[in-house]
Structures are given as C-alpha cells and as structure tokens.
C-alpha cells in the first residue's frame, strides 16, 4: 500500500515539477562554456562563471522545491509519529537555510562586484564590457 502511494506521489511530483524544468531549460539555452577551448579570453571566463552560477541557482531552487514537497509529504503522513514530524521540520529548516546561504552569497558577490566597478555594469558577464569601455576611455 505504501509503495502505491509513493508511486502516485512521485508521479504527481514529476507532473508538478515539469513546468519548472521546462522553464530552467528555456532559461539556460546558451552553452555553459562560451568558447571552444582554443581561443578563450578573460571575458569568456567571466561568462562561464555567470553561466555556472545561473545553472547552479536554477538547480538549487528546483531541488529545494522537491525537498519542500518531500518534507511536506513526511509531515502530512506522520500520523502522530513525533519523530517523523520532527524530521520533516528539520528538512524544512535545512532547505530554508540552504536557500538563504545560496541567495545571500550571490547577493554579496554581486554587491562586491558592483562596488569594485562603481556600479557600472549589470550581470557579471558584463565585466569585460565595463573594463573595455574603461580602457578605451582612458587609453584611446
């Protein structure tokens, strides 16, 4: 009986998560590695870092949604078992802490990058454009 419920739960979770996976696919249409390995520049390294961070954040948000669903399922099916309910609360707390760490880390690095360049660029892969315009302005 439990296996049948688990199969239904996994099928419902897959149906629920499919749009999120599709959105991640459409958001990650670019190649993660922007150059072919022979003629890479510093700008390509900055673009690679941006692409890796974007992919990591998309994956972390998707996995956190799955873990939230799992913790909710465990909490709802605890049936008066305090240890199972406590484990579900622990999963909730760990997922929230993980998301906060990931997003605060991204925010700190983004703020530092904008502070170093006087807020002259948007995404991190625009660093090269900011430095190129800086060098063209002062060394032209």
Could you read off the pLDDT of 25-66 as tens digits, one per residue? 445 556 777 777 777 777 777 777 777 877 888 888 899 999
The H or E element that residue 116 is part of is helix 82-116
The arithmetic mean of pLDDT across residues 69-87, rounded, is 91
pTM over 0.85: no
| Rounded CA separation 118/16 (Å) | 42
Range(s) of the domain holding residue 65? 2-139
Coil vs helix vs strand at 80: coil
Q: Contact 55/140 with Cβ under 8 angstroms?
A: no
* Total count of domains within the chain: 1
**Buried/exposed code over 99-125 (b: 16+ C-beta within 10 A; e: otherwise):** beebeeeeeeeeeebeeeeeeebeebb
Tell me the pLDDT tens digit for each residue of 90-127: 999 999 999 999 888 888 877 777 777 666 656 655 66
């Amino acid at each position: 009986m439990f296996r049948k419920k688990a199969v239904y739960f996994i099928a419902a979770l897959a149906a629920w998560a499919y749009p999120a996976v599709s959105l991640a696919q459409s958001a990650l249409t670019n190649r993660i590695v922007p150059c072919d390995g022979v003629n890479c520049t510093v700008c390509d390294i900055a673009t690679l870092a941006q692409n890796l961070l974007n992919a990591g954040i998309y994956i972390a948000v998707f996995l956190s949604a799955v873990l939230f669903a799992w913790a909710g399922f465990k909490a709802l099916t605890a049936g008066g078992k305090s240890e199972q309910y406590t484990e579900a609360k622990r999963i909730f707390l760990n997922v929230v802490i993980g998301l906060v760490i990931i997003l605060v880390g991204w925010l700190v690095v983004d703020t530092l990058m904008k502070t170093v360049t006087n807020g002259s660029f948007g995404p991190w892969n625009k660093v090269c454009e900011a430095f190129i315009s800086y060098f063209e302005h002062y060394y032209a």
